[in-house]
């Protein structure tokens, strides 16, 4: 078993991580632009959690997409997989081809989960899921490694009485991020994981006002742990959390000038890679969503 890293090395890495460089993410040499519009499985529901988002969604654990991008002239497919839910939250569904209904390009991926409790209960928990890339052709057999991927995550805002967070893993190739100016998003991490915390409330579900950009290098699979806490006086039963994933930075209204400097995250050690594998065991198997819900995201 690998021995723990020294405190000195950890501190040095942390300092490197905090160095902000004026390098826009879009300058990545071989950026793969992702398109989540060609879902394989048909959507099987409308109005997730009684919201207007989508409005179509898919509640299954695995949703496949073909032709999300190309690599060396060959098509690349992608599979999103729910690993599980934890605590007092449950998965609601994927929103493919998001968000044409609001005049956006319609090639993004929406993700929706919610508290399982009603108005007066505090709750904490979330979902874990992955995006994995495959050689194209609809077989989903051989994984494909992409040199550079940028994911713009938006409507990252929470609600009054309900927080919104995302944990990311450096072992997936995470090498930097940029935060939207004025969105009050905070980020903290070490050589293993980085957690992003939403700031504002009631930010746009279709625009970049509450957003940040993650950059991955040499990645074949990306994991997200989306989690939230709900106070006992939140305004809705089974209050939901939604975020949009824009994989080609094509979200209307997005400007590079609206983001802070690119923050570099150092490569992980083998020790941290082992931790990622271990943490997968911490999520329980998914249980089916409840039948009824309540508006909001
Ligand atoms: Ca949100
Ligand atoms: Ca919102
Ligand atoms: Ca897009």
pLDDT tens, 181-218?
Answer: 999 999 999 989 999 999 988 899 999 999 999 999 99
For 138-207, give the DSSP string: TT--SB--EEEEEEEEE----BTTB--EEEEEGGGTEEEEEEBTTS--EEEE-SSEEEEE---SS--SSS
Place of tokens 């082992």: 274
- Structural domain boundaries, residue 223: 17-282
* Cα separation, 194 vs 168, whole angstroms: 5
Could you tell me the two tokens for 238?
A: 């089974």
C-alpha of residue 118 to centroid of ligand 3, in Å = 34
**Domain count of the fold of the chain:** 1
Q: Are 250 and 107 in contact (CB under 8 A)?
A: yes
Q: Which ligand gives the minimal distance to the CA of 209?
A: 2
C-alpha of residue 107 to centroid of ligand 3, in Å = 5
> Does 291 fall in a domain?
no
Q: What is the pLDDT of residues 49-95, one digit of tens each?
A: 999 999 999 999 999 999 999 999 999 999 999 999 999 999 999 99
> Does 6 fall in a domain?
no
> Does 272 fall in a domain?
yes
Q: How confident is the model at residue 15 (pLDDT cuts 50, 70, 90)?
A: very low
pTM listed for this prediction: 0.83
> Does 295 fall in a domain?
no
C-alpha of residue 121 to centroid of ligand 1, in Å = 20
> Does 290 fall in a domain?
no
* Cα separation, 156 vs 150, whole angstroms: 16
> Does 86 fall in a domain?
yes
> Does 5 fall in a domain?
no
> Does 7 fall in a domain?
no
Q: Are 279 and 171 in contact (CB under 8 A)?
A: no
């Amino acid at each position: 078993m690998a021995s723990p890293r020294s405190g000195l090395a950890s501190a040095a890495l942390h300092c490197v991580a905090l160095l902000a460089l004026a390098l826009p993410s879009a300058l990545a040499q071989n950026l793969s632009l992702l398109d989540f519009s060609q879902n394989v499985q048909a959507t099987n529901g409308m109005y997730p959690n009684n919201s207007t988002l989508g409005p179509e969604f898919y509640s299954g654990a695995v949703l496949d997409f073909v032709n999300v991008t190309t690599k060396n002239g060959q098509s690349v497919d992608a599979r999103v997989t729910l690993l599980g839910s934890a605590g007092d939250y449950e998965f609601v569904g994927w929103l493919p081809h998001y968000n044409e209904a609001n005049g956006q390009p319609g090639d993004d991926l929406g993700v929706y989960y919610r508290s399982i409790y009603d108005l007066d209960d505090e709750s904490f928990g979330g979902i874990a899921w992955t995006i994995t890339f495959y050689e194209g052709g609809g077989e989903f057999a051989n994984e494909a490694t992409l040199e550079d991927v940028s994911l713009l995550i938006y409507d990252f805002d929470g609600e009054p009485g309900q927080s919104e967070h995302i944990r990311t893993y450096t072992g997936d190739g995470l090498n930097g991020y940029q935060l939207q100016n004025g969105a009050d998003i905070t980020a903290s991490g070490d050589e293993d994981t980085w957690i992003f915390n939403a700031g504002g409330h009631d930010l746009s579900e279709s625009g970049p006002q509450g957003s940040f950009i993650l950059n991955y290098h040499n990645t074949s699979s990306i994991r997200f742990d989306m989690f939230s806490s709900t106070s006992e006086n939140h305004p809705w039963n089974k209050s939901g959390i939604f975020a949009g994933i824009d994989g080609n930075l094509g979200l209307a209204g997005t400007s590079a000038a609206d983001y802070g400097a690119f923050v570099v995250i150092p490569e992980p050690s083998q020790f941290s890679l082992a931790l990622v594998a271990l943490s997968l065991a911490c999520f329980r198997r998914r249980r089916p969503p409840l039948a009824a819900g309540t508006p909001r995201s």
